[in-house]
Amino acid sequence: MPGTTETPMVRSLQPAHIENDGQQKQRTILVVDDELLVRQMLQDCLEEYGFAVLTATDGVEACGLFMKESARIDLLVSDVLMPRMNGFYAYQVMCRIKPGLKAILVSGYPNGADMINEANINAPEFLSKPISPKELISKICAMLGNV
């Protein structure tokens, strides 16, 4: 089972907390993917590592959730191609609400990074699916300054 082989790797990493005046502050990640299994795998991986996770099934749902929860969301992890509203546009909408939002856009399509460049989206990072838990956690920690 892929989940059982990946779990020890995720557990071996440090918890996803930062020091905040002597108190721990949990980081919150918004995960957006239209595929239920992918969304659940990402949520499980991130929660096991110590992140708080909010999920959405597409860009429309994600933007609605982001409008309510933007103050506590530290980073967006979103699929690029989804029904109703794609990850490109959702990220742009969210950046209007919270400029400088950190994001990782992901795609299973080989030209996903090219699509981001063509759309002139200033997404901080891009990852190609499939994503290993170690790769995802390392990228997130680097972006949030937890390395």
124-136 pLDDT tens trace: 688 888 888 889 9
d(C-alpha 79, C-alpha 75), whole Å: 13
For the chain, domain boundaries: 28-144
Domain 28-144: CATH class, spelled out: alpha beta
pLDDT of residue 118: 54
Measure the CA dihedral 135/138/140/120, to 10°. Answer: -60
Taking the C-alpha atoms of residue 114 and residue 92, their distance in angstroms, rounded to an integer, is 17
Q: pLDDT tens digit string along 90-127?
A: 999 999 999 989 999 998 876 655 555 555 555 568 88
Please write the tens of the pLDDT for every residue from 43-84.
999 999 999 999 999 999 999 999 999 999 999 999 988 989
Q: 133-144 and 36-49 helices cross at what angle (nearest 10)?
A: 60
CB 88 within 8 A of CB 105: yes
Q: What's the pTM value of the predicted model, to 2 decimals?
A: 0.79
